[in-house]
Amino acid sequence: MATVASVSLPAFVQLPQYDRTALASRIVHLGFGAFHRAHQALLTDRVLNQSGGDWGIAEISLFSGDIMMQALREQDHLFTVLEKGPDGNQPIVIGAVNECLNAKLDGIEAIIEKFCEPQVAIASLTITEKGYCIDPATGKLDIANSRIVHDLANPHEPHSAPGLLVEALYRRRARGLPPFTVLSCDNIPENGHIVKHAVLGMAKKRDSALADWIEQHVTFPSTMVDRIVPAATEESLKEIADLLGVPDPCAISCEPFIQWVVEDNFVAGRPQWESAGVQMVSDVLPWEEMKLRMLNGSHSFLAWLGYVAGYPYVNECMEDAAFRTAALKLMLEEQAPTLRITGVDLADYASQLITRFSNPALHHRTWQIAMDGSQKLPQRMLDSIRWHLNQGTPWPCLALGVAGWMRFVSGVDDAGKSIEVKDPLADIIQQKVQQSTMENRVAALLSLTAIFGDDLANNAEFTRRIEQAWQLLASKGAHGAVAALLAGD
Ligand code: NAD
């Protein structure tokens, strides 16, 4: 069958300009999802286009159902990223990936050994928040997580990302091989600390000498990642196939904007990402907080309330003046004041975000952003609410956002249609919903201390404000509640 690797593509398609045979698997990446393809892989490809080199990426999937790897092999690990903006579309064929392994196709042993090859310098991850097996309320490894329970009992055949990294580091240490850098590229505040807690938490349970070695020799730089990359759909894949003249099942569409801020702390070298526009800094946290609260916080607000109001796509929400104004108000009045970043014009950043969310070329599903809310609420909204509670300042948009999540997980939208709720805590959330009525739903969901912590669950002011927002939603629906928020009701 014809693939991107076997046909000659139209002249407007950007192709790799470097010698792909020189690539070695110096980066081993876990999570060949939508985001990684359009972000880290693309930025690494940019560096290779500028100056060549051997910084290839080996892609790893732990999930047996991940058929993407088979397709990737059949097209010589090439895949297409389509950047879609108001000024037009640019297809780019990425050549930075030089091999891939899947647990079902290749077995876990081959995957562990890939991490143990001497040239491996970076183990990077985009496995979503839940992949770290961290309890969101404590930030520590969740030892009750079924994958972690399995890996502690069977450390040489891991099922979890922390288990895999610890086993690879265990073997590298035993063989006298140098360590690698562990680079989380997931949307979590202090993602470096989170993956470090996950890995060290696991290592300590196995062997304290191994944990000490990891602590001394491995680094876990934090990163802030930004680019809107909606999940591929039949429609987006068809659009790319029509442009290329050949299907590419690994292709992905995204917006033109891209940003990556990386803590410059690597133990075994790294690509010269700065030549591709990456910001290498000493402290990423202020950048992460800015992005998580301004971008992701308002994205979640739009997703939960927008989905319940009947908007399937973010850009459709943005065509609704009430949602658009509320998103800007949330960013400027309730998220920006909580930030400690300096040297960034936050009003300008917010207005860029409004433009990005409104991009009609991207079809970013509100449902996709709305899922996994239990993992997203703490860093996107609850930390800001804690800040406001401390300062005694108002936070009506955040309250409506949290109530919007409660409406979403209650499972029925404003038109009476049922909602498919996808979340690692779906079972317990479902239980709370089923055991409560609309009248006591807020109290039932606030008792989920894994999300709200003991502090918020027991804070009378917090409870009162969320209850008010919930009542507003119940009486006016999501659209009416957003409009009422602006009117100061
Ligand atoms: P995706 O669903 O396309 O990919 C997720 C990947 O993680 C898949 O390869 C899956 O196999 C893997 N994975 C899931 N659970 C795992 C687990 N328990 N252990 C190991 N691997 C696991 O999602 P995506 O859009 O690529 O998002 C990935 C990350 O990138 C998320 O943390 C997201 O917040 C972040 N991000 C996404 C965007 C975006 O617009 N898509 C933007 C910025 C940041």
User: Is pLDDT at 324 greater than 70 in this prediction?
Assistant: yes
How far apart are the C-alpha atoms of 329 and 324, rounded to whole Å?
9
pTM of the model: 0.90
Atom 44, ligand 1: which residue's CA is nearest? Answer: 187
Is the Cβ atom of 32 under 6 angstroms away from ligand 1? yes
Is the Cβ atom of 108 under 6 angstroms away from ligand 1? no
Note the pLDDT of residue 64.
Answer: 66
How far apart are the C-alpha atoms of 409 and 23, rounded to whole Å?
46
ipTM computed for the complex: 0.99
Rounded distance from Cα 247 to ligand 1 centre (Å): 23
Amino acid at 289: E
Contact (Cβ atoms closer than 8 angstroms) between residue 53 and residue 331: no
pLDDT band at 87 (very low <50, low <70, confident <90, very high): confident
Element (H, E) at 416: none
Q: What is the dihedral of CA 348, 350, 352, 355, to 10 degrees?
A: -140
Note the pLDDT of residue 129.
Answer: 87
Is the Cβ atom of 72 under 6 angstroms away from ligand 1? no
| Residue 227 CA, closest ligand 1 atom number | 42
Rounded distance from Cα 375 to ligand 1 centre (Å): 13
Query: What are 248-273's pLDDT values in tens digits?
Result: 999 999 999 999 999 999 999 999 99
Query: What are 25-78's pLDDT values in tens digits?
Result: 999 999 999 999 999 999 999 999 999 999 999 999 998 667 789 999 999 999
Rounded distance from Cα 60 to ligand 1 centre (Å): 13
Query: What are 331-388's pLDDT values in tens digits?
Result: 999 999 999 999 999 999 999 999 999 998 888 999 999 999 999 999 999 999 999 9
Is the Cβ atom of 247 under 6 angstroms away from ligand 1? no
Q: Mean pLDDT over all residues of the chain?
A: 96
Note the pLDDT of residue 29.
Answer: 98
- Lowest mean per-residue pLDDT among 27-31, 84-88, 313-317: 84-88
Amino acid at 82: L
Rounded distance from Cα 92 to ligand 1 centre (Å): 21
What does the block give as tokens for 319? Answer: 């065509």
User: Is pLDDT at 1 greater than 90 in this prediction?
Assistant: no
Query: What are 92-140's pLDDT values in tens digits?
Result: 999 999 999 999 889 999 999 999 999 999 999 999 989 999 986 677 8
Domains and CATH numbers, the chain: 20-281 (3.40.50.720), 285-487 (1.10.1040.10)
What distances in angstroms separate CA 77 from CA 4, 71, 155, 397, one per listed residue? 10, 8, 30, 45
Looking at residues 237-251, what average pLDDT do you find?
Answer: 97
What does the block give as tokens for 341? Answer: 């970043």
| Residue 128 CA, closest ligand 1 atom number | 32
Contact (Cβ atoms closer than 8 angstroms) between residue 28 and residue 115: yes
Note the pLDDT of residue 138.
Answer: 78
Query: What are 164-186's pLDDT values in tens digits?
Result: 999 999 999 999 999 999 999 99
Rounded distance from Cα 459 to ligand 1 centre (Å): 33
Is the Cβ atom of 130 under 6 angstroms away from ligand 1? yes
